[in-house]
Structure 1
Amino acid sequence: MALKIGDKIPNFTAKDTNGNLFDSQDYLGKQPLVIYFYPKDNTPGCTTQACSFRDNYQDFKDLGAEVIGISSDSVRSHIQFKSKFNLPFILLSDNDKKIRKLFGVQNNLLVIPGRETFVTDKNGTILLIFNSMSAEIHIEKALSILKKYSNYSSICFGH
């Protein structure tokens, strides 16, 4: 069953580029997350998307959010991709596609792993689900919803 806005993200773990086990539970209650699924390291669209997240990373940090990129590439591939393009955010290897299945991310054109972005509040509640093979739009949509959330939080909760 596909996730929808207002749902909590499922708990997941995966290896990061430092060889550590990333656990989504460690972030809940602390900060918003921008979790983006992408097809493959070092392909034109995915490189454009990753570099755009990199170029806007400080904006995400200023809004209190962490960016997490997930594909089925190996940890080794992620290490090279991260190093080659100086990516400051977390990349996770989902080589068995379990996380992709948990989030209900479908393949595009039946064979290409989907490109989908989930934005959550700090409690893991989904604020945005955006699915488009157009890589650049994901960053714009994610920043826009985080800004709205940030403004709403400061008005309602005095932060």
Structure 2
Amino acid sequence: MAFPKVGNLAPAFTLVNQNGEKVSLKDFKGKKTVVLYFYPKALTPGCITQACGIRDTKKDFDKLDAVVLGVSPDPVKKLQSFIEKKELNFDLLSDEEKTVAEKYGVWGLKKFMGREFMGILRTTFIIGKDGRLKHVMDKVKTKTHHDDVLEILKTL
């Protein structure tokens, strides 16, 4: 499955966050740039590094009028635990059915330590205030993800 095309409207979605509250892409249209990042699994080393980088630079995202939403197939309870244990200051969304991951083309074949399996391909989408896809990052480095996204936001 391919990623949505830059310039097109981003695929609409409504998911529940760590508090069980519904969050929709349309909630931000005309108000905020949305940084939608997909990560494989809460409370795993790479995902912790990535999330903590965003947590520590949230003020920079706020200055650029951007909201960050993390999406994984984890259940709400696990997202709550991730938020609490790592003191995250942004919403994590539960996509247990992987419907949003499939819409965005990030549910696919992965290879790790010689075995193949289906999983989330770590990918970030930047969606403009107009609801259109502005940028796709498919080569995400967990340690520098936050800085890489901020640099892209500054050029948009």
Question: TM-score w.r.t. structure 1 length?
Answer: 0.88
Structure 2 Cα separation of the partners of residues 6 and 69 of structure 1: 22
Amino acid at match of 1:37: F
Q: Counting helix residues as a fraction of each chain, which structure ranks higher?
A: 1
Please provide the CA RMSD for this pair.
1.3
Structure 2 Cα separation of the partners of residues 21 and 8 of structure 1: 21
Structure 1 Cα separation of the partners of residues 148 and 55 of structure 2: 15
Deviations 1:15-36 (A, max 9, x none): 1112111111111111100000
1:96 aligned counterpart, secondary structure: coil
- Residue 137 of structure 2 is matched in structure 1 by 130
- Residue 118 of structure 1 is matched in structure 2 by 125
Q: Counting strand residues as a fraction of each chain, which structure ranks higher?
A: 2
The count of residues paired between Structure 1 and Structure 2 equals 149
- Residue 14 of structure 2 is matched in structure 1 by 13
Q: Where does the alignment leave 5 or more consecutive residues of structure 2 unmatched?
A: none
Structure 1 Cα separation of the partners of residues 135 and 62 of structure 2: 18
2:120 aligned counterpart, secondary structure: coil
State the shift of 1:81 in Å: 0.2
- Residue 23 of structure 2 is matched in structure 1 by 22
Structure 2 Cα separation of the partners of residues 137 and 34 of structure 1: 15
- Residue 155 of structure 1 is matched in structure 2 by none
Structure 1 Cα separation of the partners of residues 83 and 10 of structure 2: 25
2:11 aligned counterpart, secondary structure: coil
1:11 aligned counterpart, secondary structure: coil
State the shift of 1:113 in Å: 1.8
Q: Where does the alignment leave 5 or more consecutive residues of structure 1 unmatched?
A: 150-159
- Residue 62 of structure 2 is matched in structure 1 by 61
Question: TM-score w.r.t. structure 2 length?
Answer: 0.90
Amino acid at match of 1:46: C
Report % sequence identity: 38
Structure 2 Cα separation of the partners of residues 129 and 46 of structure 1: 18
Structure 2 Cα separation of the partners of residues 133 and 34 of structure 1: 13
